[in-house]
Amino acid sequence: MKTYRSLKEHVYDYIASLINEGKLSAGDRVSEQSVCDAIGVSHTPVREALIQLSSDGYLDNEPRRGFKVKGFDEDSAREIFETIGPLDGQAARLARPRMGAEDIRELCFLVDSMGLAIEQGLLNNYDKLQRDFHEYYAVRCGNERLHQLLHQLNRHFIRHDYAQVSREEARRLVGKANDEHRRIVELFERGALNELSDYIRDVHWDVRNAKFTTW
């Protein structure tokens, strides 16, 4: 399912990638002109993206001083987990009657792809794939307001701070998360709607994992 992406969205993703890769950290200022020069766009989409990033909580917009990277602390992460868990579970519940065998196969493919990324130590690839996994059923839930709300909440997980643990521990953590993805697919296959939504809410979005999304 292809969707049109505006220039603002491309700029948004570019700035997000700078944060995700550690090229911009909390407290750093974002140069509007530098972004324009780097990706060859005008000031308008850059300004729009900066405003959106500020609205989403990534940047502080300081009058006459521009935009500064805000950061994302553990309290904020915990609040997002507490909010997104029930909503993601409800999206899965609503999506299941609208999904067929091909959709289940696609979810299986994403889980397998995440497993391969983990084996190869490609944690950034894993992060992208797990976003695709949740987006796959959210977009099929039949409730566009819910889908957009989830999309906005997921934007807060602009990066995962795996640097605070060893590489072995990071792989263990993402491996555990992918085992949960596999369990979610099993519940989709069975059509166990109550168990599916409860598992996503209470296990997959366990607030104890929130600390790994701070930056």
- Each domain of the chain, given as residue ranges in start order, spans 7-69, 74-213
Residue 19 is predicted with a pLDDT of 82
The tens digit of pLDDT for each residue in 26-67 reads 889 999 999 999 999 999 999 999 998 888 778 889 888 899
**What number is the average pLDDT over the span 175-182?**
95
Q: Which residue has the higher pLDDT, 142 or 26?
A: 142
DSSP H/E element including 29: strand 29-30
Degrees, nearest 5: CA angle 185-190-194: 90
Domain 74-213: give its CATH superfamily.
GntR ligand-binding domain-like (1.20.120.530)
Strand 29-30 and strand 59-62: the pairing is: unpaired
Percent of the chain with pLDDT over 90: 59
**In sequence order, what E strands does 40-196 have?**
59-62, 66-69
- CATH pick for 7-69 out of 3.50.50.60, 1.20.140.10, 1.20.1250.20, 1.10.10.10: 1.10.10.10
133 pLDDT more than 60 = yes
Candidate from 15-24, 40-49, 78-87, 158-167 with smallest mean pLDDT: 158-167
198 pLDDT more than 80 = yes
Residue 165 is predicted with a pLDDT of 57
2 pLDDT more than 50 = no
- Tell me how many helices (H) and strands (E) the chain has: 9, 3
What is the spatial distance between Cα 210 and Cα 75, in angstroms, rounded to a whole number?
9
Average pLDDT of every residue of the chain:
89
**What number is the average pLDDT over the span 90-105?**
98
190 pLDDT more than 70 = yes
The tens digit of pLDDT for each residue in 61-90 reads 988 889 999 877 788 889 999 999 999 999
**What number is the average pLDDT over the span 101-127?**
93
pLDDT category at 95 given cuts 50, 70, 90 is: very high
13 pLDDT more than 70 = yes
What is the spatial distance between Cα 35 and Cα 10, in angstroms, rounded to a whole number?
11
